[in-house]
């Protein structure tokens, strides 16, 4: 399934649903964009809600890329505030939520929005992430599992954006970064050293900061 096909399927699934909640990575911009546009096509009046961090990310993407494609325009996505209550009760909400026990600020935001607007009779939760987080193993995320157990109906709608090893090498050779490559979202970052022994690989741990001139 391509991202485009995922968007079409999402549009089919959310048609006629008043309140939609999406759990996906906040850095998966193409996924957010395809679902954002699916919501607009299905119900232009339904508010698209994000938290402050997500809004900052979308603003950066829109500023740098929207002149090349309307796909990266997110002017209809706004943080939820109580002042929108009347509109939300009438038109519904399409909210990108997050679950992370390490940052209570957006967990509280997501809990508040879910608690206020999720009704099994007119709502749905879309899990749009790797299903490995839901299986036993080192990657299992109990917070995700708990969320899906608590909020039903829910559906899984995902397509992998993972690149092959060959594609990663090709990308590195094409870009030829001056500073080097920083592995992110990887269970085995040292694998890049084996894959590209001649490359400059910058290994950063959680919380480490790299200053860029």
Domain coordinates of the chain in residue numbers? 3-156, 163-213
Confidence tier at 140 by pLDDT (50, 70, 90): confident
Which one has a higher pLDDT value, 139 or 147?
147
- The CATH number that domain 3-156 falls under is 3.40.50.10710
Mean model confidence pLDDT for the chain = 89
pLDDT at 103: 52
Confidence tier at 56 by pLDDT (50, 70, 90): very high
Report the candidate in 82, 31, 39, 38 with the shortest Cα–Cα distance to residue 58.
31
Instruction: Judge contact between 202 and 210, C-beta under 8 A.
Output: yes
> Does the structure show a pLDDT above 70 at 39?
yes
> Does the structure show a pLDDT above 90 at 110?
no
pLDDT at 208: 85
> Does the structure show a pLDDT above 80 at 187?
no
> Does the structure show a pLDDT above 80 at 161?
no
pTM beyond cutoff 0.85: no
Which one has a higher pLDDT value, 65 or 110?
65
Alpha helix positions (H), the chain = 3-14, 29-42, 52-65, 85-91, 104-117, 142-150, 165-175, 191-195
> Does the structure show a pLDDT above 70 at 100?
no
C-alpha angle with apex 69: 130 to 76, nearest 5 degrees?
70
Confidence tier at 19 by pLDDT (50, 70, 90): very high
* Percent of the chain whose predicted confidence (pLDDT) is above 90: 53
pLDDT at 170: 92
Sign of the C-alpha dihedral, residues 110, 95, 78, 62?
positive
Report the candidate in 32, 34, 73 with the shortest Cα–Cα distance to residue 49.
32
> Does the structure show a pLDDT above 70 at 2?
yes
> Does the structure show a pLDDT above 90 at 58?
yes
Instruction: Judge contact between 32 and 58, C-beta under 8 A.
Output: yes
Q: What is the largest CA-CA distance in the chain?
A: 59
pLDDT digits (tens, 9 = 90+) for 164-176: 888 889 998 999 8
């Amino acid at each position: 399934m391509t991202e485009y096909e995922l968007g079409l399927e999402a549009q089919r699934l959310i048609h006629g649903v008043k309140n939609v909640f999406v759990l996906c990575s906040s850095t998966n911009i193409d996924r957010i964009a395809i679902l954002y546009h699916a919501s607009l096509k299905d119900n232009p009046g339904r508010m698209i809600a994000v938290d402050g961090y997500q809004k900052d990310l979308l603003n950066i993407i829109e500023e740098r890329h929207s002149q090349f494609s309307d796909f990266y325009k997110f002017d209809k996505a706004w943080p939820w505030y109580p002042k929108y209550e009347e509109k939300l009760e009438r038109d519904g909400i399409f909210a990108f939520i997050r679950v992370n026990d390490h940052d209570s600020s957006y967990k509280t935001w997501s809990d508040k929005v879910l608690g206020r607007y999720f009704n099994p009779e007119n709502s749905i939760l879309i899990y749009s992430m790797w299903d490995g987080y839901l299986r036993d193993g080192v990657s299992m995320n109990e917070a995700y599992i708990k969320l899906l157990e608590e909020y039903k109906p829910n559906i899984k709608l995902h397509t992998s954006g993972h690149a092959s090893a060959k594609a990663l090498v090709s990308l590195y050779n094409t870009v030829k970064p001056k500073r080097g490559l920083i592995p992110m979202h990887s269970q085995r970052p040292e694998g890049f050293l084996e894959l590209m022994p001649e490359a400059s690989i910058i290994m950063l741990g959680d919380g480490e900061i790299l200053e860029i001139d």
